[in-house]
Amino acid sequence: MTDEEQVNAIRGGVASWHEWKAANPRKRPDLKGANLTGLNLEGINLNGARLQEVDFEFCNLKKANLVGADLTRANLSNTDLTDALLVNANLQGARLTGAIATRADFRGANVAGADLRQIKRGL
C-alpha cells in the first residue's frame, strides 16, 4: 500500500522529499503505485526505494539516484534519465519507451522484460 505522506512529500518536489527523508531516516521509501506524472525530480535520491508500478511518465529524473531501487513494472516512458544512477535497479517489466537515458548508469540493472523501444542513449 502506498504511503500517502510519502507521496505528498515527493509531489512537493525534491526539497520536500529530502526534508521528509531527513525526518524519517529509518523508513524505507515506498511509493508503490503512485502517479507522479510530469514532476520535476531532478537530483532526487530514491536509493533503494520501492517504486513498483509508479507512473513517472514525462518526469525529469536527471541525476536521480535510483541505485538498488525496485522499479518493477514502473512507467518511465518519455522520462529524462540523463546522468541518472540505476545501478543494480530492478527494471523488470518497466516501460522506458522514448526515455532519454544519456549517460545513465544501468550497470547490474535487471531489465528483463522491460520495454526499451525508442530509448535515447545519446552522448
* pLDDT tens-digit readout, 42-77: 999 999 999 999 999 999 999 999 999 999 999 999
pLDDT for res 60: 97
pLDDT tens profile 18-41: 999 999 999 989 999 999 999 999
Contact between 80 and 102 (Cβ < 8 Å): no
Between residues 44 and 122, the one the model is more confident about = 44
Tally of CA atoms within 13 A in the half-sphere of 40 that contains its CB: 1
Q: Which of 1-5, 57-61, 76-80, 107-111 has the lowest mean pLDDT?
A: 1-5
For residues 91 and 21, what is the distance between their CA atoms, to the nearest angstrom? 23
pLDDT at position 114 over 70: yes
Q: Is the pLDDT of residue 2 over 70?
A: no
| CA atoms 72, 98, 81, 17: torsion sign | negative
What is the reported pLDDT for 121?
A: 84
H/E element, 8: helix 4-11
Enter the pTM of the model: 0.93
What CATH homologous superfamily does 1-123 map to?
E3 ubiquitin-protein ligase SopA (2.160.20.80)
Kindly list the domain boundaries of the chain, sorted by start residue.
1-123
